[in-house]
Structure 1
């Protein structure tokens, strides 16, 4: 009986160890917070889809992953591990915020992680862990979603080569793929990097299972931007099979759409077409979150649709601290211009001012201040009139009305 109990305990321990070894881990490294030790039993475990939503929110590209926000536990995970945004943040707070560095560490042994002291930082587990091929593809997609003007036109191989290099400038959010814990430790040893960046590191576990293409271990589906110069661009979706029991729906339009890009770790499932020509000045909203700076003049014109037809791109500044070959050396932005239209045949004109990263927002500050000043003046006038009437009504009347005035005396 004792032998049977011992065998069951050993088997249970073996299964628990295998499950732990098969889990990936996400570490949030922020030097502005105090590191703390955490018991492994208290470590939260998220599904790959929930973990992807947390990573996307920390990378600032959650708009491309909004389809899965309603899944159970996703919002709780984002509230727990996502970037905390103050409700009443002003422009100074936005400029003071730390940049984000998303680091993927491929196939690190648990003993190496423990030796690196990463367990002292906030973290959560991802189980079952997607294979490193799928994780590598997710990192490439996050980079393309965050900076379509830089990575959007690159193939996955070219983007992987760029992400394998260390960042040469510290003025933008960045993505990096590391091959070892030692390389991550080397990053953390640079004081300038730890002061500038909040580092989100996903460590994939080692093992042959990491090479599997089993769809149940993939990250799920999400939208992808397109920065092609064609007049008809597409909003693509990469996906892998999710670990659910229902049969997948077939999309007949996907097989006939030649603009899809297939990958060894994903499969396209749907497409929506929208106009995004370089010279397109339609009033349809621009997809995604526009960056504050563009690396080149052409990237600025393509992404902003030539500033929505309300201005032109120009070089705002040059970062002299970056190398000559850096993509982040030059900063191109939109310079908005006023639009003047004739309103009648007698020569009347209407001037419209524009603002925003792509000059896509109408400037209504003049109308706002006119309405605000008129409202304040009208309230003041009403208050003055009511006060005057109230003051007049509060004055005392004379004790004898008509005192000193007498009628004619009677004649006898």
Structure 2
């Protein structure tokens, strides 16, 4: 009897330990913030995903919170994103000061002892904790999202390299994301401690902000395979409101699973190929939109195939440097006219000027011809209508009566 009671207690304790999965710590290094408070809010993984996207997005990021489940309060989620996300730039600002570069470092497989020791070494409390850290598969899908945004590091850089925001190999713009696995890189935490003075120096000078996410080892095999709620689909236990929100979100929100599926379906293209490339004579349709701005001249020329051969990238803000990657840079295609030969026949020989339009100069601009034809058609129709109306108006006028003046009977 005592043996049965002991086995039952052991089983119950094992279930309790399995149910209470350790949370993940997230540290934020930025010069404008004060010392972190020991009261760490516990944030769901879906809201954490929006914080990561908001901090690394190179355009103005509008959080579409319709992908959050109904169990998460929207107002609380907005407060967390505003507090732990990137500080928004002033709407009307004439200063030329650049915003600090944003770096997100994700470390997988951190043990509880390592997390406790690192907390003491960093000298600050975690900004917040992730209550339900997902699995390694979810992290792979999340990195595919960052690759599609162009913020993931183009190669597996060492931590000593990636913490330098002025480096050219590990940074392709004002933000970067790297992920390390302690199984493959067991010395990454030691490297973090060794480079902590350099990180604090960059942060103190306003050149860098770092968000460090420490995922516990127990989350590696978690059943949560996605950071976003709508990616996993609607389950049998979902409420009707959750189903409606997720169905609506699937129409508007790109999830981690969708990007990973699209990337894996193309065997010849890596997941980072997020934007379409075109040739001068052929364009390819894609589900992903063409961005309005690129962070650098090289990224603009590479991802638009040199503006489809019909133009060149330039900074909308008037910068002369083609290598600028500051937060105020907005490189976009400036289309140029092309002069083509009409034909070899003597009757049609000549040159034709073709104008181009679109975000990648991939569309032929026929607005001049359209307005000429439309204007001529409207003018002709108006003239004919006026003439017909004038004829009807003249035909409807009454004729004058018989004039009998000067006619009299003879006596």
Normalised by the size of structure 1, how large is the TM-score? 0.52
1:182–1:54 CA distance, 2 compared to 1 (3 A): same
**SS of corresponding position for 1:101:** strand
Task: Kindly state the Cα deviation for residue 115 of structure 1 after the two structures are TM-superposed.
Answer: 1.7
Correspondence for 1:277? 278
1:186–1:66 CA distance, 2 compared to 1 (3 A): farther
- Matches of 2:264 and 2:220 in 1, distance apart? 21
1:359–1:186 CA distance, 2 compared to 1 (3 A): farther
1:44–1:262 CA distance, 2 compared to 1 (3 A): farther
Correspondence for 2:118? 113
Correspondence for 2:317? none
The answer as to whether partners of 1:46 and 1:127 remain within 8 angstroms in 2 is yes
Is 1:188 paired with 2:196?
yes
Is 1:198 paired with 2:202?
no
Matches of residues 122-271 of structure 1 in structure 2 within 5 Å? 123-147=127-151, 151=154, 159=155, 161-162=156-157, 166-167=161-162, 170-171=165-166, 172=173, 173-178=175-180, 179=182, 180-190=188-198, 191-194=200-203, 195=205, 196-207=207-218, 210-212=219-221, 214=223, 216=224, 218-220=226-228, 239-240=231-232, 245-246=237-238, 260-261=263-264
Q: RMSD across aligned C-alpha pairs, in angstroms?
A: 5.3
Task: Kindly state the Cα deviation for residue 335 of structure 1 after the two structures are TM-superposed.
Answer: 6.6
- Matches of 1:245 and 1:164 in 2, distance apart? 43
Matches of residues 6-405 of structure 1 in structure 2 within 5 Å? 19=20, 22-36=22-36, 38-39=37-38, 42-60=39-57, 66=64, 68=66, 72-73=73-74, 74-90=77-93, 92=95, 95-108=97-110, 109=112, 110-117=115-122, 119-120=124-125, 123-147=127-151, 151=154, 159=155, 161-162=156-157, 166-167=161-162, 170-171=165-166, 172=173, 173-178=175-180, 179=182, 180-190=188-198, 191-194=200-203, 195=205, 196-207=207-218, 210-212=219-221, 214=223, 216=224, 218-220=226-228, 239-240=231-232, 245-246=237-238, 260-261=263-264, 277-279=278-280, 286-288=289-291, 290-295=293-298, 300-304=300-304, 306-307=306-307, 311-313=311-313, 316-317=321-322, 336=334
Task: Kindly state the Cα deviation for residue 51 of structure 1 after the two structures are TM-superposed.
Answer: 0.9
- Matches of 2:149 and 2:22 in 1, distance apart? 28
1:242–1:28 CA distance, 2 compared to 1 (3 A): farther
CA offsets, 1:144-196, max 9 Å, x none? 41348x85xxxxxxx5x357773285243222234443333334321553332
CA offsets, 1:39-87, max 9 Å, x none? 3xx3211111111111111111686973646653332321222112144
- The number of equivalent residue pairs is 283
Task: Kindly state the Cα deviation for residue 287 of structure 1 after the two structures are TM-superposed.
Answer: 2.9
The answer as to whether partners of 2:55 and 2:86 remain within 8 angstroms in 1 is yes
1:340–1:90 CA distance, 2 compared to 1 (3 A): farther
Normalised by the size of structure 2, how large is the TM-score? 0.52
**SS of corresponding position for 1:92:** coil
Task: Kindly state the Cα deviation for residue 32 of structure 1 after the two structures are TM-superposed.
Answer: 3.5
Structure 2 residues without counterparts, runs of 5 or longer: 1-8, 167-172, 183-187, 251-256, 315-319, 340-354, 363-411
- Matches of 1:357 and 1:165 in 2, distance apart? 37
1:300–1:60 CA distance, 2 compared to 1 (3 A): closer
CA offsets, 1:249-271, max 9 Å, x none? 9x9xx99xx955179xxxx9xxx
The answer as to whether partners of 2:26 and 2:212 remain within 8 angstroms in 1 is yes
1:176–1:260 CA distance, 2 compared to 1 (3 A): closer
The answer as to whether partners of 1:311 and 1:334 remain within 8 angstroms in 2 is no
The answer as to whether partners of 2:106 and 2:179 remain within 8 angstroms in 1 is yes
The answer as to whether partners of 2:43 and 2:128 remain within 8 angstroms in 1 is yes
1:35–1:67 CA distance, 2 compared to 1 (3 A): closer
